[in-house]
Each structure stands twice: as structure tokens, then as C-alpha cells.
Structure 1
């Protein structure tokens, strides 16, 4: 069934979307390349694996998937220990307050995705899906202003806390994919102008994240190339579009996006 903006603008759906969207060069290395110690996977829903299915019931609302890239990497490389604390909806302050417990002087590898929720990803996508184009673009401008002015400091706090707790760790900060293939042929509730602006916002977020990661001596893993040809509207999507039956997985990587998009980038960065 094709949904129009008119049918989408109901109060109940708006509430559901607002909650559910919350984010909720080196050659590949083998396990011996990891510093002595274990692997700790931090971050938001892109790291916990929302959208990939196969959730660990013990993870509750954090929705940690058994096929998320951290679990896939740990399975392939057998680190001495593996702690998976990434959680759907996490912001930078959530990572600092609740995810860093497993880190220690012997931690060898840390991976993280964070920043999308701080920048208001949930509200941006809800606005763009349910409101006119002008409202979408205005909300994206607000997000861009936040990314440029406030987010760098928030990221610095997270990265400094990781370094303090795990000074010997190799830290890989992974970015976010562009959501849309421009000029693609698909039934989307968004205009090409909106899709273009959303992709530019992802690039802006990745640019700031990469800059701050480098400032702390961390490695940035850019996933945009890995997802090229697999965006929404590509015909071979590794990302969910808006899902009216299961809104929580909207705009998140599929299981193939975790294994074919994120996993190789982490592996090559270690």
C-alpha cells in the first residue's frame, strides 16, 4: 500500500515514529594484530544492530543483534574477551554514563558509532516523513548547526573517556552511511531535494566525527563507500526505508548492511 503524507500525519503514528526512529587503507588484519586484551563494542543502534534482526533477549531495549558487526567480528577473530554494550538510542552522554564499564588497561580494541542521536536523527526523519518539504529542510538546518557547534565537544568527551579508561586500545570510530541513492527509482515519501539534504547531513556528521576521532589518535572507519550501490532506492538496499509495520527498524542497516557494510570496514581498520 502506498502511503501519502496526508495519511501519515496521524498523532498515533507520529508518536510511534518519534520513539522508534531513535537511533533506536590497511589490508584486513587477523586476530593476532589486535593488542593484547579484549574487544569492547560501544555505541548506538547502528552498532547494536537494530534492523538486522536476531536480537538477544537479554539485551532488552538495547536491541543487540546476534548478527551485528561487533558480534561478527568477535566470532571471526576470537578476542580474549568480548563485551557488547552498544545500545539503541544511545547518545554521547549515555555512552559515558553507562557503556564504559568493561574498558580497562588491557583492552585491545574498541569500536563505536555515536553522534547521530545527539544531532537529532530521530526527530529529523520524523519531520521529513510526516511534514512538508520546507519543514524537513528547516529541521536539517538545525541539525547541521548542532553538528558544527555542539557535537564536536560531545564527541571529545566520549573519546577522552575511552582513552582514559583504555589507554592501550586501538579505537575505531565508525561513521554512518548515506541513506539514499539519488536518482534512484523507488516509491519514497521524500522528494529528491529532501533525500539530497539528508545525504549531505550524513556527510557533515561523518566529517565532524572523523576530525574529532583523528584529534584523539583514533581511526575513523568511513562506511559510505561500502554502502554505495546499496542505499535506499538503489534496488539492492542494505538499509531499511520507513517501515510502517515495524517502525523501529526504519533507516537502519539490514543484516546484510552489518555483514557487508560495517564488518569489512572495521576489519580493515584494525
Structure 2
């Protein structure tokens, strides 16, 4: 345990029994956020969100069938695409949100969201094996955010920030870094893009990266979390790999690192939700809030669709 973590533990106001209860709640929350508890029902829940969309006043042709100037749009991926952390959840299995960036883009006059299978805890294998099949073959725009769960996002968050353990944290980061650098991971990102291009040949495939979760001061330090800079550095590497593979295979990559700059956890205006014991059962931690999803949507809108 680091000196900072040890000092915090020595002065923690809860007794051991209380801490055990909170730890149990924590693990349950992590299961919800990272998807350990979303296996069987996830398909039905995400499909329900995709179907039966109400008409939207002011959009050409209303909702449902879309208008002549609207581009058929599908949104795939993990919790960052589903909207975990943004609130206003449409269901409680995948935690898709009405404030997620796909729903914000759906409100634009030029796009009609007809498939929204993105789901908390999912990885590249789920996108390829399940989510791609929900995309209409006539889709013109597809967004996807995926890869974080492939490299062990949940384990890093738990061991480095929620129940910090220096040895376990270092191991989780090293394991994730090795996966990100592997040929197998590169192949999995390529498979996502290639599967989408085969499914909807006329679609513009837009792959987004991940924001740096933690604010750092001028010395590269986060005042609360000693492992923040290391995780930020590994996120940059992860994004670089995803970008390289996605663009090589014909997709457009949207890098949101600069968009979120100055708004990580620990900043004066965070767009990422921090972990709090009091919200242990709420799946929000270490994910963008509603403002963060608005930033995602703004970055994606900068991509020319024609």
C-alpha cells in the first residue's frame, strides 16, 4: 500500500464491519458498471431501446421511419457508448442513457438512431458476435466505442482507485498494457471495423477513443489518486493503438483527449464521475457525466458525413 493510501486507511472513520459492507456494495456496483452482471438479459434490453422510437418534432419526417434528409445511424460499443454515468437511464441492464452521445446525435436533424445495442461491460467480441447483427445493412453512420474492457478496465479501477492495492494495481496496469500491445488486440479492433464495413458497406464507421479520466496538475500529479498519471498514460497508448488499427482499416477515428482536457477527475469542472462510497450502488464511477457525453457528441459532429 502506498503511503498516501495507508494514511487514508489509518484515519478512515468506518470500523471494519462498516467497511466490509461498503466493500460488498462496491463490488456489486462494479459488476453493474463493468458488466459482470449483464449477460443473458442484455440482448433483450438493448434491442428494446433500439426499437419503437417516438417521433421527434422538428426533424424531417418525424421519428420512426426517418426523413429523406436523415442518415440511418447505429451506435455500438461498451458502457462509454451506452451512456453509463450520464444518468436518465432508459433501462437498467445495459444502462443506456437518454443523455448518451448516441441519443444526443439522434436529436440532430441529419441522423436517425435506429439501432443502439451498446451495452455496459461489453468488449470487441460482443460487438462482432452480437451487436453488428443489429445494424441495418443500409446504415449510413455507425459509431463505436470499445476496447477498454478488453484490456481490463474494471480491474484497474478497482485495484488502483476503489480498493487501492499497489501490487494489484501495478499488475492490472501491466496486464492491460500487454494486451493493448498485442497482435490479438489489434486484430480484434480490425475485426470490429471490418465486420461493420461488411454489414453496412455504405456506412461511415466512426471509432471513438477514451478520455483521460484524471486531471493532473503542472507536476503531472492528481491530488487524490497516486496512480492517476500512470492510468492516463496507458489510456493514451490504448487510444493510439485503436486509432492506428481503425484508420488503417478504413474507419474514421475521433480522439477526445483534447476535448476533455482540464475536465478529468480532480479538476474544478470534471466531466468524469469520481468514485464515492455514498454512491456505491450507482453505476457512474469513472465514466463521463452528461456534460462529458455532450463533448463526445460535439467531437463526433465534426466528422464530415458526406
Give the TM-score, by structure 2 length.
0.76
Could you tell me which residue of structure 2 aligns to residue 66 of structure 1? Answer: 98
Give the structure with the larger helix fraction: 1
The match for 2:279 among 225, 242, 246 is 246
CA distance in structure 2 between the partners assigned to 1:263 and 1:158 by the alignment: 21
Could you tell me which residue of structure 2 aligns to residue 41 of structure 1? Answer: 75
Instruction: Report if the CA contact (8 A) 1:53-1:67 is conserved.
Output: yes
Instruction: Report if the CA contact (8 A) 2:127-2:192 is conserved.
Output: yes
Gaps of 5+ in 2: 1-6, 37-59, 61-67
Q: Structure 2 matches for 1:102-251, cutoff 5 A? A: 102-129=134-161, 130-149=163-182, 150-183=184-217, 188=224, 190-191=225-226, 194-247=227-280, 248-251=283-286
Give 3-state SS (helix, strand or coil) of 2:228's partner.
helix
Give 3-state SS (helix, strand or coil) of 1:249's partner.
coil
CA distance in structure 2 between the partners assigned to 1:170 and 1:44 by the alignment: 19
- Residue range with higher mean Cα deviation, 34-43 or 94-103: 34-43
Shift of 1:226: 0.6
Shift of 1:210: 0.1
Shift of 1:101: 2.6
Question: Looking at CA atoms only, which structure, 1 or 2, has the larger radius of gyration?
Answer: 2
CA distance in structure 1 between the partners assigned to 2:198 and 2:70 by the alignment: 17
**Structure 1 pair 13–128 and aligned structure 2 pair: CA distance change class (3 A):** farther
Q: Structure 2 matches for 1:16-31, cutoff 5 A? A: 16-22=28-34
| Structure 1 residues 97-143: Cα deviation after superposition (integer angstroms, max 9, x where no partner) | 22123324321000000000111000111011213324312321111
Instruction: Report if the CA contact (8 A) 1:120-1:143 is conserved.
Output: yes
CA RMSD of aligned residues (A): 2.6
CA distance in structure 2 between the partners assigned to 1:23 and 1:219 by the alignment: 27
| Structure 1 residues 209-250: Cα deviation after superposition (integer angstroms, max 9, x where no partner) | 001101111000000111001111111000001132334210
Matched, 1:255 2:290: yes
Could you tell me which residue of structure 1 aligns to residue 64 of structure 2? Answer: none
The count of aligned residue pairs is: 255
